Amino acid sequence: MNLTPDCCEVTADTLTFGEIKLEIPVKGITTHEEEMQLANHRVDRVQELVSEQEWKVNHTAEKEKSLLSMNRTLDFVLVLRICVAVAAYVVVVEIAGTEL
């Protein structure tokens, strides 16, 4: 068997197409259009859900920062009240001359 290198070569000169007829039923096209519209609606809904979750995450983080700030303020006020109470005790002890 003798194979020449150009036995299977296809050049642009030898390849020509005339008309290409596509026979697709209209019903199939409309069904696909409806499916695409449904898929598009689902993508829109997923985008809405993602936006809602991002909003919740951002606002939850803001609430946590606010609560943390309030806790620090309350801790500071508590420490301040303890310091004032100790200072008042020291003043009372110095005035009375004895420990209570």
What's the DSSP call for residue 97?
A: S
Phi first, then psi, for residue 6 (nearest 5°) are: -95, 15
The domain spans of the chain are 69-100
- pLDDT for residue 2: 55
- Distance from C-alpha of 42 to C-alpha of 37, rounded to nearest angstrom: 9
What would the pLDDT profile of 9-53 be if each residue is shown by its tens digit?
555 555 566 676 666 666 656 666 777 777 777 888 888 888 898
Asked if residues 100 and 92 have their Cβ atoms less than 8 Å apart, the reply is yes
The alpha helices in the chain, defined as continuous H runs, are 26-96
**CA dihedral for 85, 89, 90, 94, sign (positive or negative):** positive
Please tell me the pTM assigned to this model: 0.38
CA distance 13 to 9: 11
Given a contact cutoff of 8 angstroms between Cβ atoms, the answer to whether 96 and 89 are in contact is no
